Amino acid sequence: MAFRTRFAPSPTGPLHLGHAYSAILAHDMAQQHNGAFLLRIEDIDQSRARREWEEQIYDDLTWLGLSWENPVLHQADQLFRYRSVLSDLWRRGLLFPCNCSRRDIADALSAPQEISAAVGPDGPVYPGTCRHLTNLQFEAALPENRAIRLSIDEALEALEDQQEASFEECLFEGGGIVKTDADELKNSIGDIVLARKDMGTSYHLAVVLDDAEQGITDVVRGEDLFEATKIHALLQRLLGLPTPRYHHHRLIRDEDGKRLAKRDDARALNKFRKEGYTPDDIRDLIGLAV
């Protein structure tokens, strides 16, 4: 299958050197493979997404010399698709509503009888407080609760029935290969949130459905998402979707070794531009000179 990759920023702040690294790497890989480079605007968090940031993304990428295939997919336009998949998973008995706040979860995990307090990609592994709430109708589950979660036990059982107990290997830039298994998913990932009341979906569900929708064969992303990729491989199995190849790349860090964040305006691409840097200077800075 022809190589198709994407860059998937959230329009919630300026792109910085770390984004440039991810976007240029994906773009160059697509070119090397004679493939396609797509763009997706991850704007499910409408309380933080801003049209100005989206415009700035197009402007920064164009300045870097990158071009992408149209159309650009906006996640905010896909809510009906996410909802229909959620309703299918609900019908399969794999979801439950959850009304716990972060505080409730922390309190439950600090209770004396609670032994597991592992931290997964989304924070502390959910202690299972609301797992018994399965008698609601799907239509009422989200308006009346904070979130809808995937029951990891039910999900793994469903996969066993589908005879899909093994998981795709996740490729790591530089050669390492990591696999996950049922115990690891139960203990270090747990009942993940698939829809939040304020969004109607979650990052994990949206990213998996949209990679499939955009026909992505190769995902190029930071190694900070390595653990989350295991969730994505699980969801792909449950939903009968293909698992792309994953290339997790190193993170660009500041001089203290901290990874760059949106609030690191000092590393924002448009700041470099204003200071007279050229796109080739940026490639040099991040070690991707052509």
Which residues here bind ligand GLU, judged by CB under 6 A?
Answer: 8-10, 42, 207, 219, 221, 225
Q: What is the DSSP string of the chain?
A: ---EEEE---SSS--BHHHHHHHHHHHHHHHHTT-EEEEEE----TTT--HHHHHHHHHHHHHTT---EEEEEEGGGGHHHHHHHHHHHHHTT-EEEE---HHHHHHHHHSTT-----EETTEEPP--TTTT---S-HHHHTTTSSEEEE-HHHHHHHHHHTT--S-PPEEBTTS-EE---HHHHHHHT-S-EEEETTTSS-HHHHHHHHHHHTT-SEEEEEGGGHHHHHHHHHHHHHHTPPPPEEEEEPPPB-TTSPBP-TT-GGGBHHHHHHTT--HHHHHHHTT---
Choose between 145 and 204: whose C-beta lies nearer to ligand GLU.
Answer: 204
Residue (6 or 100) nearer to ligand GLU, CB? 6
Closest CB to ligand GLU among residues 98, 220: 220
Is 27 or 141 the residue whose CB approaches ligand GLU more closely? 27
Question: Closest residue (Cβ) to ligand GLU?
Answer: 221
Min separation Cβ 265 and ligand GLU, Å? 17
Shortest approach of ligand GLU to residue 9 CB, angstroms?
5
Q: Provide, rounded to whole angstroms, the least separation between the CB of residue 122 and ligand GLU.
A: 14
In the complex, least distance from residue 69 CB atom to ligand GLU, rounded to whole angstroms:
17
CB of 207 to ligand GLU, least distance (A): 5
Q: Which is nearer to ligand GLU, 251 or 285 (CB)?
A: 251
Q: Give 95 or 231: the residue with its C-beta nearer to ligand GLU.
A: 231
Nearest distance from residue 226's CB to ligand GLU, in Å? 11
